Amino acid sequence: MPEHAKTPDGRWVDSLEREMGATWPAIRKARTTTEEKRSILRAAFKGKIAADTSLVVFGSIAREEFTSGSDSDWMLLVDGQAYPEHGDQRHTISTEMERLGFSEPGRSGVFGCMTGSHDIVHEIGGEDDTNSNTTRRVLLLLESLPIGNREAYDRVRCQILSRYLRDDRGLVRSDGTFRVPRFLLNDLTRYWRTVTVDFVYKQRAEGGEKWALRNAKLRMSRKLVFASGLLRCFFCHLDPAAAGAREALAAPKPDMTKLLTYLESELAQTPLELLVRASLELTAQRATARKLFDSYDRFLSVPDNSEKREVLAGVSGPEVATSAVWEEIRELSHDFHSGLLDLFFGENGALRELTIHYGLF
C-alpha cells in the first residue's frame, strides 16, 4: 500500500478530494454540521453522565454525515451494577435531546432506551440474540460516538471485539498463515442481511410509509456501513500496519492484544474515511473513486434539501415511478453500487480474492 499524505487534521476525504481534483460540498457541509451538533451535545451533557454509563449516539452524527433532516438515535449504555437512577437519567436524556431540537429515535425501540452491556457482549448468536441486540452491538462498532463519559463505551467495545477474536479459532491456520476475523465478518454480514429483510417487513407492517426514504438509506448509508465493516476485517490481512498483530497471533504463544488494538484504531475512523483509505491505499482507479464519492456527495445533498426530503418521505407505491427525486436517488445509488463492485471485485487482486473467499461463502 503506498503512502498518501493526509491533511494536517488527518482528513482522508480532503486528501482524496485534492488528489482527484474533485469538489464534494455536501460531504464537507455535513462534516461541519456534525461538529456543530456534537459540540451542542458535549456542552449539554458535560459532567452529567453517571459512572459506569455512557450516552452513545448513532447514525449520521457518528458518521460525520449529519444533515438538516437527520435522525437522532441514541442509547444510555450501562456497564455495571443497575441502579433505579439509571431510568431517571434515560428520561432526562430524552427530554434534553428534545429540548435541543434533536428528533426522536425511531419507533422500533432499538434506540432511545437504556441498555445493559451483558446481552450485547455475551449473546452473540443463538435464540437470545435478537435483531435489536445484534443491531446495537454491530453499530456500537461501526457507527457510534460517546458523548461525555466514555469509559463504559470503551470497555464494552473492547469486550465485544475480544469475544469476536477469542472465540474465532480459525484466525491462524496450522501453518501459521493469518486469515481474517471471520466470526466478526460473519456477524457484520448477518446484520446487513437482517437490515435488508427488516426493510421489507417494515414496508408491509407500516403500509409503505416512508418507503422511498428508507430505501435511499438502505442503498447508500447502510450499504456504506456494511462495506466499511468488510474493509476493517480485510485490512487486518492487507494492511502493513497490522503485520505486528498478525505475527503475534502466529507466535508459539498467540497474543491477541495487538490485533485488538489495531481493530480499535480502525473503528475510530468513520465509514466514509475508511472507504477513502481503501481507495487510496488499495490503488483504486480514479474512475472508481469518483463514482463512489461523487454519488455519495449527491446523496447527502438530498436529505439536506427540505423539499426533496419531504418528497422522499411521502412518495410510495405507484408514485415512485413518476418521482424525479426518487429517480435521482436511484441513479446515484446505481453509481455507488457500481463503484463498490469495482473496488471489491475489480482492480486490487488481493482485495478481490478476500472478498470472494470470505465475503460470499
Backbone angles phi, psi at 270, to 5 degrees: -70, 160
Which residue, 160, 179, 206, sits at the end of a domain?
160
DSSP state letters, 41-101: HHHHHTT-SPTTEEEEEETHHHHT---TT----EEEEE-S---THHHHHHHHHHHHHHHTT
pTM: 0.93
Q: Are residues 316 and 195 part of one domain?
A: yes
pLDDT at 323: 93
Q: Are residues 347 and 293 part of one domain?
A: yes
The answer to whether position 14 is within a domain reads no
pLDDT at 202: 84
pLDDT at 52: 93
Q: Name the residue type at position 63.
A: R
Instruction: Please give the span between the terminal C-alpha atoms of the chain, in angstroms, as a whole number.
Output: 27
The answer to whether position 145 is within a domain reads yes
The answer to whether position 16 is within a domain reads no
Encode the chain (361 residues) as per-residue pLDDT tens digits.
334 334 434 478 998 999 899 999 999 999 999 999 999 999 999 999 988 999 999 999 999 999 998 989 999 999 998 888 999 999 999 999 999 999 988 777 899 999 999 999 999 998 999 999 999 999 999 999 999 999 999 999 999 999 999 999 888 887 778 889 999 999 999 999 999 999 998 888 777 778 899 999 999 999 999 999 999 999 999 999 999 999 999 888 889 999 999 999 999 999 999 999 999 888 778 999 999 999 999 999 999 999 999 999 898 777 888 899 999 999 999 999 999 999 999 879 999 999 999 988 8
Q: Are residues 350 and 245 part of one domain?
A: yes
pLDDT at 174: 79
Q: Are residues 155 and 177 part of one domain?
A: no
pLDDT at 8: 36
Which residue, 142, 160, 178, sits at the end of a domain?
160
Q: Are residues 190 and 290 part of one domain?
A: yes
Domain that holds residue 336: 168-361
The answer to whether position 313 is within a domain reads yes
Q: Are residues 214 and 80 part of one domain?
A: no
Q: Are residues 240 and 108 part of one domain?
A: no
pLDDT at 4: 39
Tally the C-alpha atoms within 13 A of residue 51's C-alpha that lie toward its C-beta: 1
The answer to whether position 11 is within a domain reads no
pLDDT at 149: 92
Q: Are residues 102 and 192 part of one domain?
A: no
pLDDT at 284: 78
pLDDT at 11: 74
The answer to whether position 177 is within a domain reads yes
Q: Are residues 223 and 128 part of one domain?
A: no
Q: What is the 3-state secondary structure (H, E, C) of 163-227?
A: HHHHCCCCCECCCCCECCCHHHHHHHHHHHHHHHHHHHHHHHHCCCCCHHHHHHHHHHHHHHHHH
pLDDT at 301: 97
pLDDT at 101: 95
Q: Are residues 60 and 155 part of one domain?
A: yes
In whole angstroms, give the CA distance from residue 183 to residue 153: 22
